[in-house]
Structure 1
């Protein structure tokens, strides 16, 4: 698995260390190398829209889901189902990403564990309230999908916190 963002490698390394991510990162600041070819570049916001692409060992694309905007996060179940359908053996976990001569530089824009819960709780409660005001069922479904995404993130974060308790000072 590889994650990509518009952030420079130093910021990505800080993110890995904050969140204990077992992934490698690709830095695509202008979106020219990966985001635009994948159709995942948002010209208005100058950001990489969330996208999940699964590629089989023979190079064939077996799954793609592109988010509509920066708030829309793909659900992992269809992606995992596509991967499981390939029947591949699991790989051993990769060692932590620690490139030589690269110092982590945290971004002020990055989510920290402390900011995660209030952000997604706000999305959950706001979308719940908004869904009650929606007259159009399609709009209500959109808002409830966003609420479900926030609930899923909060549940996953509870699991993450159990695996990564705060360090004692």
Structure 2
């Protein structure tokens, strides 16, 4: 008598089934949610890199413990041209990424690159303040897989409709929040003597600067900055 299929296996099958082709890799973008400025920063960064991921053979899929209506609001407000994974995949895939927050029942910001065969090529934690927040390692790993290009996602509308969900931060608000955080991180990085804490502060500064540039691109395009 066979046992139940492990949740992780079911989650991976769900991701693979969501692809448009069985020959592509999948970049899973796990987000805390529409209320979290850093999630907007990560999502905006990936939006800017989308053509490069497509050229290297990966589709981008989003994952968050948010109701469907809020997922739609996030995609519209942040101008994300990506599809969402279904709710059933959220917890098992977030656990596979080491990004499931038990107390809140949410995924944490992270990336996972799933190969065409369903094996993880690379997983990155983007919730750790000591991480620089760059997705370049994902692109490098994807290029090494030597996959065929996939069609680029259709760009989101230049001007999204007015947000109807107050739990989703607009990019202009996120940009202002990130600027304040970046100012604090720069001051801290400059004031600390050489130490592990100084290294963490500098990595935080780099991540905030990267996120801010990406969010400003979105904010400028929709006139919310």
- Unaligned stretches of 5+ residues in structure 1: 98-104
Which stretch shows the higher mean deviation, 9-18 or 152-161? 152-161
Match of 1:89 in 2: 148
Select the residue among 158, 166, 169 that pairs with 2:223.
166
Which stretch shows the higher mean deviation, 3-12 or 131-140? 131-140
Match of 2:97 in 1: 38
Match of 1:102 in 2: none
Query: Contact 1:5 / 1:27 at 8 angstroms: preserved in 2?
Result: no
Cα distance in 1, alignment partners of residues 90 and 218 from structure 2:
30
Select the residue among 54, 64, 67 that pairs with 2:123.
64
Q: Note the C-alpha offset of 1:53.
A: 0.9
Specify the SS of the correspondent of 2:91: coil
Tell me if 1:54 matches 2:113.
Answer: yes
Select the residue among 196, 207, 225 that pairs with 1:149.
207
* Number of corresponding residues: 160
Tell me if 1:112 matches 2:170.
Answer: yes
Query: Contact 1:51 / 1:74 at 8 angstroms: preserved in 2?
Result: no
Query: Contact 1:8 / 1:29 at 8 angstroms: preserved in 2?
Result: no
State TM-score, norm by structure 2: 0.60
Specify the SS of the correspondent of 2:95: coil
Specify the SS of the correspondent of 1:32: helix
Q: Note the C-alpha offset of 1:13.
A: 0.5
Instruction: Decide whether aligned partners of structure 1 residues 114 and 4 sit closer, same or farther in structure 2, where only a CA change above 3 A counts.
Output: same
Instruction: Decide whether aligned partners of structure 1 residues 88 and 123 sit closer, same or farther in structure 2, where only a CA change above 3 A counts.
Output: same
- Unaligned stretches of 5+ residues in structure 2: 1-59, 157-162
Q: Note the C-alpha offset of 1:117.
A: 1.4
Match of 2:16 in 1: none
Cα distance in 1, alignment partners of residues 219 and 193 from structure 2:
38
Deviation digits for residues 27-77 of structure 1 (CA, Å, limit 9, x no counterpart): 549953332343211234443111211112122211111234489673111
Q: Answer 1 or 2: higher relative contact order, Cα 8 Å, separation at least 6.
A: 2
Specify the SS of the correspondent of 2:85: strand
